[in-house]
């Protein structure tokens, strides 16, 4: 079996982790503001035939909800909130949500095994992720799909910082997965790099969808085929200095997009799949709230992104412990999506048993 890292976290490492999150957030922030203003594990063996197209949606076809996570407190408290809202909306009308699995890639069980349905897999061999922990995501899916019994025909790939704001139907259509288009995933603008992993004979660069792996609803058999390629491409991209430098913290997202294209899989792009406060001011008809960005406002309700606000909610403020119960609501004038986020976090923390006492397992 693959060896496991010693995941003990010292104060020094927590500082480094916090700095890493800061720079990752800063890079994404830069892209957001610009947009708003205008060791090989397997051989690459891509499937080249396009899956058969089928019309219509898949309403009534259940999908398994799967998220990858670690045993760090930062990941645990987000997973607990995510699972709370999954349970709340799962059986509501228009829901196609099936069973739930937290794919725990820390290599051993933690103290949430009895609270959240979980499946333990191994992390990558020590040093292979080079500090980029999300490289464990494709490897986790490879192991889970190989070893677990999954009843549903479809799978939703989700993340701990996702909150279901309403019941989620199956947005896929036949063999065509549904994915969320990220404005900062731009394969055509990086054709030189993309061609290192998606050769010209495979087709135009526009075959590479502007997505990451999450959120995506996809047929299980397609994900079984794509996942080893996704892992392989992720590692190759990380090994390539130019690619690593250019893609940074979204490298693994590009790797999934490229791997899907190598298998001839095109995604239905659903902007209503997800919202991301503070940039999306209204919840509207969206299904998932993704709180990856910090929300900073002054007391007038004005966004102060890039500067710590007089009022703020940022998940990175809680690296070594869960957020307290009953967080203060934003000041008047703050967008509805941010208010909704805080209210949903507060509801979850008020109702999850032992919220204040959880420690790393």
SS (H, E, C) 38-76: CCCCCCCCCCCCCCCCCCCCCCCCCEEEEEEECCCHHHH
Please tell me whether residues 302 and 181 are part of one structural domain: no
| End residue of a domain, out of 203, 236, 269 | 269
Tokens standing for 219? Answer: 């047929």
Q: Is residue 29 part of a domain?
A: no
Amino acid 248: pLDDT: 96
Q: Is residue 319 part of a domain?
A: yes
Domain containing 94 — which CATH number?
3.90.550.10
Please tell me whether residues 147 and 78 are part of one structural domain: yes
Please tell me whether residues 100 and 170 are part of one structural domain: yes
Please tell me whether residues 100 and 243 are part of one structural domain: yes
Please tell me whether residues 245 and 309 are part of one structural domain: no
For residue 337, what are the contacts with CB-CB under 8 A and spacing of at least 6? Answer: 275, 277, 278, 280, 281, 282, 283, 289
Please tell me whether residues 84 and 160 are part of one structural domain: yes
Q: Is residue 359 part of a domain?
A: no
| End residue of a domain, out of 214, 234, 269 | 269
Q: How far is CA 101 from CA 30, 151, 216, 340, in A?
A: 34, 12, 15, 25
For residue 313, what are the contacts with CB-CB under 8 A and spacing of at least 6? Answer: 291, 294, 295, 327, 330, 338, 341, 342, 345
Tokens standing for 175? Answer: 């063999």
Q: Per-residue confidence of the chain (361 residues) as pLDDT tens digits?
A: 333 333 333 443 333 334 443 334 334 433 333 333 333 333 332 222 333 333 345 667 999 999 999 999 999 999 999 999 999 999 999 999 999 999 999 999 999 999 999 999 999 998 898 889 999 999 999 999 999 999 999 999 999 999 999 999 999 999 999 999 999 999 999 999 999 999 999 999 999 999 999 999 999 999 999 999 999 999 999 999 999 999 999 999 999 999 999 999 999 999 999 999 999 999 999 999 999 999 999 999 999 988 999 999 999 999 999 999 999 999 999 999 999 999 999 999 999 999 987 654 4
- For 157, the domain range is 59-269
Please tell me whether residues 115 and 252 are part of one structural domain: yes
**Cβ(266)–Cβ(249) below 8 Å:** no
Please tell me whether residues 181 and 317 are part of one structural domain: no
- What is the reported pTM? 0.84
Please tell me whether residues 100 and 173 are part of one structural domain: yes
Q: Strands 288-290, 274-275: parallel, antiparallel or unpaired by DSSP? A: parallel
Q: How far apart are CA 263 and CA 116, in angstroms?
A: 33
Please tell me whether residues 307 and 258 are part of one structural domain: no
Please tell me whether residues 114 and 240 are part of one structural domain: yes
Tokens standing for 75? Answer: 């990941």
Please tell me whether residues 179 and 235 are part of one structural domain: yes
Q: How far apart are CA 230 and CA 236, in angstroms?
A: 10
Q: Is residue 169 part of a domain?
A: yes
For residue 146, what are the contacts with CB-CB under 8 A and spacing of at least 6? Answer: none
**Which H helix or E strand runs over 351?**
helix 336-351
For residue 349, what are the contacts with CB-CB under 8 A and spacing of at least 6? Answer: 81, 322, 323, 324, 325, 326, 355
Q: How far apart are CA 344 and CA 180, in angstroms?
A: 22
Split into its structural domains, the chain has a count of: 2
Q: Is residue 4 part of a domain?
A: no
Amino acid 258: pLDDT: 98
CB atoms within 10 A of CB 264: 16
For residue 354, what are the contacts with CB-CB under 8 A and spacing of at least 6? Answer: none
Whose CA is closest to 44, among 204, 252, 198, 155?
198
Q: Is residue 333 part of a domain?
A: yes
Q: Is residue 71 part of a domain?
A: yes
**In the Cβ-directed half-sphere of 16, how many Cα atoms lie within 13 Å?**
7
Angle made by CA atoms 21, 140, 119, in degrees to the nearest 5: 105
Tokens standing for 17? Answer: 């982790």
Q: Is residue 208 part of a domain?
A: yes
């Amino acid at each position: 079996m693959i060896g496991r890292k010693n995941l003990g976290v010292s104060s020094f490492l927590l500082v480094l982790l916090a700095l890493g999150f800061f720079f990752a957030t800063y890079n994404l922030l830069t892209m957001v503001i610009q947009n708003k203003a205008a060791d090989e594990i397997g051989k690459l063996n891509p499937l080249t035939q396009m899956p058969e197209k089928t019309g219509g949606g898949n309403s009534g076809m259940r999908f398994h909800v799967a998220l990858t996570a670690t045993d760090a407190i930062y990941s645990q408290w987000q997973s607990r909130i995510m699972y709370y809202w999954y349970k709340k909306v799962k059986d509501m009308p228009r829901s196609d949500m099936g069973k739930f699995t937290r794919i725990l890639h820390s290599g051993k069980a933690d103290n949430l095994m009895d609270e959240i349905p979980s499946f333990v897999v191994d992390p990558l061999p020590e040093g292979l992720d080079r500090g980029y922990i999300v490289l464990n995501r494709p490897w986790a899916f490879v192991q889970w799909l190989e070893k677990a019994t999954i009843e549903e025909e479809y799978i939703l790939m989700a993340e701990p910082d996702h909150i279901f704001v309403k019941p989620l139907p199956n947005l896929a259509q036949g063999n065509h997965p549904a994915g969320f288009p990220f404005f900062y995933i731009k394969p055509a603008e990086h054709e030189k790099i993309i061609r290192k992993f998606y050769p010209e004979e495979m087709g135009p660069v526009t075959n590479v969808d502007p997505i990451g792996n999450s959120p995506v609803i996809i047929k299980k058999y397609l994900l079984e085929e794509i996942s080893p390629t996704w892992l392989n491409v992720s590692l190759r991209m990380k090994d390539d200095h130019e690619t690593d430098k250019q893609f940074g913290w979204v490298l693994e997202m590009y790797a999934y997009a490229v791997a899907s294209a190598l298998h001839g899989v095109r995604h239905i792009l659903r902007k209503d799949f997800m919202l991301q406060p503070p940039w999306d001011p209204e919840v509207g008809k969206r299904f998932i709230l993704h709180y990856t960005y910090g929300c900073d406002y002054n007391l007038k309700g004005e966004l102060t992104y890039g500067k710590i606000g007089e009022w703020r909610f940022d998940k990175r403020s809680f690296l070594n412990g869960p957020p307290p119960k009953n967080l203060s609501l934003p000041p008047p004038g703050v967008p509805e999506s941010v208010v909704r986020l805080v209210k949903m976090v507060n509801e979850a923390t008020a109702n999850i048993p032992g919220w204040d006492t959880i420690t790393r397992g």
